[in-house]
Amino acid sequence: MRLPLLASVLLVTACVDDGWHEGDPVDRAVTAWRMMPALDDTRVAISLEPRKIHRDEHGVITSGFATSVVGPSIAVEDDAAFASLGTGAGEVRVGATRNWLLQTDLTYWEHQTPSSSPPRTPFVLATLVDRATLAMTTVPLSPPIEIPALVGDTMFDVSPGGFSDIERDIVIRRREIDGSATTLHSGRGFASASCTRVGGVIVVYQQPSGDLHVVSVTDDSTVTQATLPGLHFDPLGFACNDAATHVAVMEATGATLIDVAAGMKLFHAPDLQPPMVISMAGTSMVAARGADRHLVYADAQGTKDLGIVSPKSPEPAVFTGDLAMFELETAVAVVDVARGVVGTTIPAIRDYMYPFEMKRWRDKFVVQLSTFDGATYTDMIEQMYVVDFTAATPLPLPESRYSPSLQLPGTSTLYVKGYDGTEDTALPHLTAIDLASGSVLSDELLPLCTDEVVLEERGCR
């Protein structure tokens, strides 16, 4: 349909000034925060990145937004600043003995929605955080890290995934703690995809010859690779098992499971598509059937309908070992991917799942289900569980329950970020819950940058 024809759908009377934009500040202070846990989970540092979001107005029209990083990030513990970091949008990867706080040099980006994550930009700075002491060491990254992939304590760097119209370099590098890099694999290709698992990193890419190349790297930097002739894959439909020994790729006709070490296809399952999860042994998978979105177990002998239905646009499945948790149309369900058996199922609060979260925790999952208030556009957490194959154990709900999000930075403590109300003056809290005992450990205000300082572009605090 031509856009001018769309115009007739919406009529705006220009003689009415309802002043909807009045009183709403043009500039907002926002804090991007990331958790950096100590080894024993009793301490956690938080990085605070000061962002100012500006709304562009033309009369009553909002034409877009722009975010600026207005100073260096800082690290805090118990709301007390103890380190100054670099300036630029950042991310954290939690390793076995050290956290990697990675920062780009990006300090400005434009967007159409009121808030937005920064566009993908290479990381130029790493702050290594010792998980025993929370001591920090900052190093420049040369070359920059494109996509970080942390396995145990070994940081790898892989090329960006997705489609590419032109042939490009595909690399896997091991990153050293002094910021340097050692190239482990270098190739040329078009579409590519990668995954980071407990067992290692896998990169798959389409070679100029039209063949598919698969490379796996374990944390001791052992490289295994294979080429599969004539296999054309969709990089947006891709899965790896936890052992990082097998991959499932989506072709135009369905999903193909590949044994990387053997360099061979194990089987092709017609009409299967994401969400896809592969068993630890790599002999079976569970995925959605395109025709009816039923979740289907597939192995070399054939397929089996599990009798549960994936929604049209499901969240990616989360998995631990052979157990996977899938979003269904009106529930979440644990599936044993090795046996093709459905376990614990948690029904939706309403007739659809949104909003909810599911996280992997050790060999289990943590799930929260929320209600959504259309008047205030606010989620409120209603149910929270630790889930395994046989049972869902309720967790205590935080007192600050609005706009919740789950954080599992370490190994034993769940942090629930939630606001204590729906008003503009509501404050975000962090409620810490010990998952083993199901007890609330603490409820603290989430440390933030100071609004006034951010709005005046003087940094965080």
Span near other proteins by CB under 8 A; candidates 46-54, 162-170, 317-325, 402-410: 162-170
- Residue 156 neighbours by CB distance under 10 Å: 25
Rounded CA separation 244/218 (Å): 8
Residues numbered 197 to 216 that lie near other proteins (CB under 8 A) are 206, 208, 210
Residue whose structure tokens are 């890099």: 181
Of the pair 137, 209, the CB lying nearest other proteins is at: 209
10 sits near other proteins (criterion: CB under 8 A):
yes
Span near other proteins by CB under 8 A; candidates 13-21, 125-133, 299-307, 411-419: 13-21
Instruction: List all residues 6 or more positions away from 441 whose beta carbon is below 8 Å from its beta carbon.
Output: 413, 432, 433, 434
Q: Please, what's the b/e burial string for 309-328 (b: 16 or more CB within 10 A of its CB; e: otherwise)? A: bbbeebbebbbbbbbbbbbb
- The single residue among 61, 80, 291, 375 that binds other proteins, judged by CB under 8 A, is 61
Long-range contacts of 450-454 (CB under 8 A, 24+ apart): 450/29, 451/29, 452/29, 453/50, 454/29, 454/30, 454/31, 454/50, 454/51, 454/52, 454/70, 454/71
DSSP characters over 285-298: EEEEETTT-EEEEE
- The single residue among 2, 220, 230, 375 that binds other proteins, judged by CB under 8 A, is 2
Residue 335: CB minimum distance to other proteins, A = 25
Rounded CA separation 64/68 (Å): 14
- The single residue among 42, 63, 117, 405 that binds other proteins, judged by CB under 8 A, is 63
Span near other proteins by CB under 8 A; candidates 57-65, 137-145, 383-391, 448-456: 57-65
Residue 272: CB minimum distance to other proteins, A = 14
- The single residue among 3, 80, 291, 375 that binds other proteins, judged by CB under 8 A, is 3
Of the pair 123, 356, the CB lying nearest other proteins is at: 123
105 sits near other proteins (criterion: CB under 8 A):
no
Residues numbered 310 to 349 that lie near other proteins (CB under 8 A) are none
Residue 113: CB minimum distance to other proteins, A = 11
Residue 202: CB minimum distance to other proteins, A = 18
Residue 195: CB minimum distance to other proteins, A = 15
- The single residue among 235, 314, 428, 447 that binds other proteins, judged by CB under 8 A, is 235
From 94, 30, 34, select the one nearest 68 (Cα to Cα). 30
Q: How far is CA 404 from CA 256, 356, 372, 378, in A?
A: 37, 9, 11, 9
Confirm if 288 and 273 have CB atoms less than 8 A apart: yes
Q: How far is CA 299 from CA 191, 249, 295, 303, in A?
A: 26, 14, 13, 6
Of the pair 177, 236, the CB lying nearest other proteins is at: 236
Residue 33: CB minimum distance to other proteins, A = 24
Of the pair 74, 212, the CB lying nearest other proteins is at: 212
Q: β-strand 246-251 against 254-259: which pairing, if any?
A: antiparallel
Rounded CA separation 88/108 (Å): 9
Residue 375: CB minimum distance to other proteins, A = 25
Footprint of other proteins (CB under 8 A): 1-15, 17, 57-61, 63-64, 112, 119-120, 160-168, 190, 206, 208, 210, 232, 234-237, 250, 252
